[in-house]
Chain A
Amino acid sequence: DGGITQSPKYLFRKEGQNVTLSCEQNLNHDAMYWYRQDPGQGLRLIYYSQIVNDFQKGDIAEGYSVSREKKESFPLTVTSAQKNPTAFYLCASSSTRNTEAFFGQGTRLTVV
């Protein structure tokens, strides 16, 4: 089955720790994205990548980092610099920019 796989589904982090969220796609899409979803705020763009080895900051990139070493993979690291990391994180991909995006199941991160 083609799709986007995010792991883990739930993640707990202690304050001061970095954590990495996994995102893998087998749709052969060039573009991949990370969004953050908070209640009442919709989805906000953290980072995006249009091709391998290239990525750009989105609207709320502070405290996050990404890499794109393979077409299929776009991991997101939530660093200790992110002041309010508790949220639902969604990874998506699309064949080209601004076309239909396909989403993973999401990772719910909680800071304890």
Chain B
Amino acid sequence: AQSVSQHNHHVILSEAASLELGCNYSYGGTVNLFWYVQYPGQHLQLLLKYFSGDPLVKGIKGFEAEFIKSKFSFNLRKPSVQWSDTAEYFCAVGHTGRRALTFGSGTRLQVQP
């Protein structure tokens, strides 16, 4: 079945550690790619998005993601995490064959001070 996979369900890091969260999708053709973040008690907000062009996308709060078409991946990275990055992160894919964004199962990031 077509899907979005986030393999890391729960990640625990110390402050200043580097972060990489994996996202793979199984749709062929043209896709729009998104990373959303949900801070505790807050609504989902967009971190970054990719529609076309440079496959390395920069978002808010120092996050970036790289689209690798051959690997059907859109991994999220941050060189140095902060305690305030503690949140749940969702990868989402928009595809012409789908009616709405399809979300991965989410990755809970816990940053320890």
> Chain A: residues with CB nearer than 8 A to chain B?
31, 33, 35, 40-45, 48, 56, 58, 90, 92, 97-101, 103-106
Contacts and interface: CB of A to CB of B under 8 A. Distances in A.
Contacts, number: 56
B100 interface: yes
Contacts of B46: 100
A65 to B, nearest CB: 17
A106 B36 CA distance: 15
Interface of B: 4, 6, 9, 32, 34, 36, 42-46, 49, 90, 92, 94-96, 98-106
Nearest to B34: A100
Contact of A42 (B34, B45, B90, B95): B90
B104 A42 contact: yes
B111 to A, nearest CB: 20
A99 B92 CA distance: 11
Which 8 A/B pairs are nearest by Cβ-Cβ distance? A98-B94, A43-B103, A42-B105, A103-B44, A42-B103, A105-B43, A48-B100, A103-B43
Contacts of A100: 34, 46, 49
A94 B34 CA distance: 13
A101 B43 CA distance: 12
